[in-house]
Amino acid sequence: MSEEYSVQETKSSPSWQLPAIVILALIALGGLGLAWSNSAKVDAAKQAVADQVKSMQHSVQQDMTAVKDRLATAEKANTDSQVDLKVVTDRLKITQGQLKKARLEAEEKNTQTTEMVKMLDTDVHTELATKATTDDVKNVDTKVTKVSTDLDKTNSDLSMARSELGTLIARNHDEIDVLRRMGERDYIEFTIAGKNKPQKIGNVTVELKGVNEKRNRSSIAYTIEDKRYEAKNANLNSPLFFYLSGTHLPEEIVINKVGKNSVSGYLSVPKANSQPATPNAAAKSGR
């Protein structure tokens, strides 16, 4: 019986394969770790961006709310300004009429004065032609002097300054007397000595706040119907206008002299304002 022998060849793997597999496994694990790290960073970046977007949306919403509030305020202010403009326009129509009337009266007065002078001149020549006695000449001279004085006074009246409402402004006591003789207004003269000492003048309370003698300016506060107003650094002979409730003609406060911690001036009241006031009418003041 024959014996069979089997011969098996065993091929061994090269020695470099195992280290290569280990290295590849490490590289794969490193890639996975890097990918996970990048993924975490991306998620963090997304969250940060989302937070920033939310913050910006909140800020924009607040800004939009503020803009809407400002727009509403501006619209209300515009509406109020339109109402005030209408009131001023209505009053301006009245004052323009008063100014036109004052100009016509001044022109008429000037014409009357010129005609008076012409008539007197004719009378003087007639009297001198018919009478040559000393007494007659003296009488004529007296008439000429009187008319000349009246003419000077009239010219002085016409040269007095007028306010923007057309009223004459008196710069001293003599001019106040001239305005009194016209009979259209009542004039109350006053002197305030010392600061912060309220003084009742007619229907107004006036208080001296400061004086600038070098520049002829003063600062006063005045109270009308429980409403207080202030006029700061006002020039001399600059009238302060205000309206009492229910009246259509303005009253005026005029400061025409300043001294050391003192001012002098007058309150001008239209005679029409002496009538009873209409209830619930709004008062206005102006300069």
> In this structure, what CATH number is given to the domain that contains residue 256?
2.60.98
199, 205 Cβ separation under 8 angstroms: yes
201, 190 Cβ separation under 8 angstroms: yes
Per the structure, the complete domain to which residue 100 belongs is given by: 24-159
Clarify whether residues 145 and 184 are in a common domain: no
Clarify whether residues 153 and 185 are in a common domain: no
pLDDT at 189: 94
Domain boundary (126, 159, 192) is at 159
Angle separating helix axes 134-159 and 173-182, nearest 10 degrees? 100
Asked if residue 3 belongs to a domain, the reply is no
Residues 6+ apart with CB under 8 A from 235: 216, 217
Burial of 20 (0-12, 13-18, 19+ CB in 10 A): exposed
**Token pair for residue 115?**
């005609």
Query: 86: how many CB neighbours lie within 10 A of its CB?
Result: 10
Longest CA–CA span in the chain (Å) reads 207
Name the stretches of the chain with pLDDT < 70: 1-14, 88-96, 99, 110, 112-113, 117, 120-121, 123-161, 163-166, 273-287
Burial of 229 (0-12, 13-18, 19+ CB in 10 A): middle
pLDDT at 228: 93
Asked if residue 167 belongs to a domain, the reply is no
Clarify whether residues 188 and 155 are in a common domain: no
At residue 111, φ and ψ (nearest 5 deg) are -65, -45
pLDDT at 186: 92
Clarify whether residues 54 and 140 are in a common domain: yes
CA atoms of 71 and 195, how far apart (whole Å): 44
pLDDT at 87: 72
Asked if residue 13 belongs to a domain, the reply is no
The pTM assigned to this predicted structure is 0.43
Tell me, what DSSP letter sits at residue 274?
Answer: G
- Closest by Cα among 207, 214, 203 to 268: 203
Clarify whether residues 134 and 101 are in a common domain: yes
Domain boundary (108, 125, 159) is at 159
DSSP for 135-161, please give it: HHHHHHHHHHHHHHHHHHHHHHHHHS-
Domain count of the fold of the chain: 2
Clarify whether residues 91 and 201 are in a common domain: no
Clarify whether residues 238 and 199 are in a common domain: yes
Mean pLDDT of the chain: 76
- Cα-atom radius of gyration of the chain, to the nearest Å? 48
End-to-end CA distance of the chain: give it in Å, rounded. Answer: 150
Tell me, what DSSP letter sits at residue 271?
Answer: G
**Token pair for residue 201?**
């003048």
CA atoms of 216 and 192, how far apart (whole Å): 15
Domain boundary (131, 159, 187) is at 159
Clarify whether residues 36 and 143 are in a common domain: yes
Clarify whether residues 192 and 276 are in a common domain: yes
Burial of 201 (0-12, 13-18, 19+ CB in 10 A): middle
pLDDT at 105: 76
